[in-house]
């Protein structure tokens, strides 16, 4: 299998890891908000907005890369 065939699968797995990390960070943010500081939780949510902004584009490109020619 050529290396170029591995790239879409690699990117898909990286995206899966990225989304899992986002979910874990959201859970920790909720915990921080409930116990420590709403301000810190708000800052984290603001940083996570970049993930949300880019998610649709990433999904679209991965779908194109994973589509057989």
Joined tokens for residue 17: 């890891």
User: Smallest Cα–Cα separation from 51: which of 27, 18, 24, 12?
Assistant: 18
Residue 1, pLDDT above cutoff 60: no
User: Smallest Cα–Cα separation from 7: which of 53, 66, 67?
Assistant: 66
pTM of the full structure: 0.72
Q: What is the dihedral of CA 12, 17, 23, 28, to 10 degrees?
A: -160
Residue 67, pLDDT above cutoff 60: yes
| Model pLDDT, residue 59 | 86
Q: How many other C-beta atoms are found inside a 10 Å radius of the C-beta of residue 43?
A: 13
5-63 pLDDT per residue, tens: 788 888 889 989 999 999 999 999 999 999 988 888 889 999 999 888 998 898 888 88
Residue scoring higher pLDDT (51 or 1): 51
């Amino acid at each position: 299998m050529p290396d170029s065939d591995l790239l879409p699968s690699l990117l898909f797995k990286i995206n899966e890891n990225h989304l899992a990390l986002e979910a874990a960070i959201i859970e920790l943010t909720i915990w921080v908000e409930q116990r420590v500081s709403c301000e810190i939780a708000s800052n984290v949510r603001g940083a996570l907005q970049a993930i949300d902004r880019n998610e649709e584009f990433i999904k679209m490109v991965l779908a194109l890369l994973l589509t057989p020619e």
